[in-house]
Amino acid sequence: MLDGKILSANFVEQSQNLRRDKKIPCLAVILIGEDSASKVYVNNKIKIFKEAGFESKSFLISSDEAHEEKIIELIQTLNHDKQIDGILVQLPLPKGLNTEKILNSITLSKDVDGFLAHNLGSLATGEFKNAIACTPFGIMAMLFTYGIPLSGKNAVVVGRSNIVGKPMSLLLLSADATVTIAHSKTQNLKQLCQNADILIAAAGQPEFITSEYIKSGAVVIDVGIHRKSDGKLCGDVGFDVKNIAGALTPVPGGVGPMTIAMLMLNTALSAWNKNN
Ligand code: GUN
């Protein structure tokens, strides 16, 4: 088991050490709409920031009040606010809002999610100038820390979202893996996955990846988190995979804590750069 809970504590500590001149890094969190999973994620981020001694300011906007111009106006105010080091707009946004337009109104240096077109694009060119998307960044930190070799390995990323699949694929490519991106239209997904030395499961489907998809000894990273009808949490990967994988991230306690640790690191770096 690749323990994201223990590992993330190291990155939280490193983020705390980055603090200079007693300036406490501050993240603005914007939650739009009533998505219950998003509420849980946002509360968790705020809680963990508080525990680490970081500040956050939350802005809750109901679907009824969610007007594009108003949201962009709020973001522009936060862009100019010297107290704010990072701005996070929790995704997905309610239907009818233009996600790209809203995200791209965040100023580059405060894009701690790494979702802006420029920041995502800089992964493709290998510049790594600003923040790297937190979930893929956390997964790379985990793979490096556990000493998992990537060069020349077959990596299959299941999912092509801007949040996980695309940045994850670019990062694995920079680490010299041979990368395949699979998605809902991919044919022969099972055979593709069976060829993976590293499998990143970010399909958003509960327990979709079963042991038949896995090559013996493969490293399996489970990005999903779902609540089952019995109230228990599960990932995109079925429990039986642990018997065949060489390494696996648990749910909860795998990728989730790493994502938040990287958000903290990105916020601390943004504050550090601003004060230099
Ligand atoms: N929704 C799911 N994951 C994320 C994330 O890492 N950041 C934001 N802003 N929204 C998300």
Give all domains of the chain, ordered by start, each with its CATH number. 18-110 (3.40.50.10860), 134-256 (3.40.50.720)
Q: Is 45 a catalytic residue?
A: yes
Confidence of residue 41 (pLDDT cuts 50, 70, 90): very high
Percent composition of the chain: helix, strand, coil (DSSP 3-state, to 5): 45, 15, 40
Which residue minimizes the CA distance to atom 8 of ligand 1?
90
Q: Which residues have C-beta atoms less than 6 Å from ligand 1? A: 88-91, 113, 134-135, 163, 259
Cα(146) to centroid of ligand 1, in Å?
25
Chain segment 145-167, per-residue pLDDT in tens: 999 999 999 999 999 999 999 99
The strand pairing partners of 234, in sequence order, are 226
Which ipTM score applies to this complex? 0.96
Q: Residues 95-119: what's their mean pLDDT?
A: 96
Q: Is 90 a catalytic residue?
A: yes
Mutate to test the pocket of ligand 1, among 41, 42, 89, 236 (most ligand atoms within 8 A of CB): 41
Chain segment 177-227, per-residue pLDDT in tens: 999 999 999 999 999 999 999 999 999 999 999 999 999 999 999 999 999
Cα(41) to centroid of ligand 1, in Å?
8
Query: Helices 4-17 & 255-275, crossing angle to 10 degrees?
Result: 10
Q: ∠108-114-118 over CA atoms, to 5°?
A: 55
Q: Residues 15-29: what's their mean pLDDT?
A: 90
Q: Residues 44-69: what's their mean pLDDT?
A: 97
Confidence of residue 276 (pLDDT cuts 50, 70, 90): low
Confidence of residue 82 (pLDDT cuts 50, 70, 90): very high
Q: Which ligand 1 atom sits closest to the C-alpha of 134?
A: 6
pTM for the complete prediction? 0.97
CB atoms within 10 A of CB 17: 9
Cα(218) to centroid of ligand 1, in Å?
27
Residues near 253 by beta carbon (within 8 Å), at least 6 away in sequence: 3, 4, 5
